[in-house]
A and B are shown apart, each in its own frame.
Chain A
Amino acid sequence: KAGVTQTPRYLIKTRGQQVTLSCSPISGHRSVSWYQQTPGQGLQFLFEYFSETQRNKGNFPGRFSGRQFSNSRSEMNVSTLELGDSALYLCASSERQVNTEAFFGQGTRLTVV
């Protein structure tokens, strides 16, 4: 069974631009969560989707958004990029929504210059 696939692996963007990151969960998994990892703030929860609906959201500004498609694939979008958005963005998939382990992709490394 293939793991969680995130594309692209690396991105370089300029301040003010927007970016879209993609995540394909493990086959059969319906829950997808996104996390931001930075040296200063560690791992922070962005949002979670289950059956195309956002079920949970972290404390991030409205510039961060996401969606989930009917095949459970998910995208996250960051608009009006700031230097502080440079981070490793990790996607995790879970089989169910409640009380189950999450499996992570390798992440997308976003650098904002």
Chain B
Amino acid sequence: GISVTQMEGPVTLSEEAFLTINCTYTATGYPSLFWYVQYPGEGLQLLLKATKADDKGSNKGFEATYRKETTSFHLEKGSVQVSDSAVYFCALINTGTASKLTFGTGTRLQVTL
């Protein structure tokens, strides 16, 4: 079936530390891949996306590369800030499912001073 697996949280980092949140997926065809972020009490905000193999999505210092050979889309940031504290969701749209998003369970990131 179609699924997205994210690393369990919470992830606690000190400010300026390097961040990696792992995401792997199971899908058919060539899915589009996304990272969304949710701040407390808010909806989801699109952070970045990649629509084909080897594409790199980037935004606000965050990056993720679409790796078809390992079915992965890991999120990275070189230096996190306290303001990055939020829940991060990896998601995909599978080929032929229009705009239906399948989400991972989310990873909570807590950044401390």
Contacts and interface: CB of A to CB of B under 8 A. Distances in A.
Interface of A: 4, 6, 31, 33, 35, 42-43, 45, 48, 50, 55-56, 58, 90, 92, 94, 96-107
Nearest to B31: A99
B105 A50 contact: no
B43 A97 contact: no
Which 3 residue pairs are nearest across A and B when measured between Cβ atoms?
A43-B103, A104-B43, A104-B44
Nearest to A43: B103
Interface stretch (B11-19, B45-53, B76-84): B45-53
B93 interface: yes
For chain B, the bracket of interface size reads 20 to 34
A30 B80 CA distance: 36
Nearest to A93: B99
Nearest to A108: B43
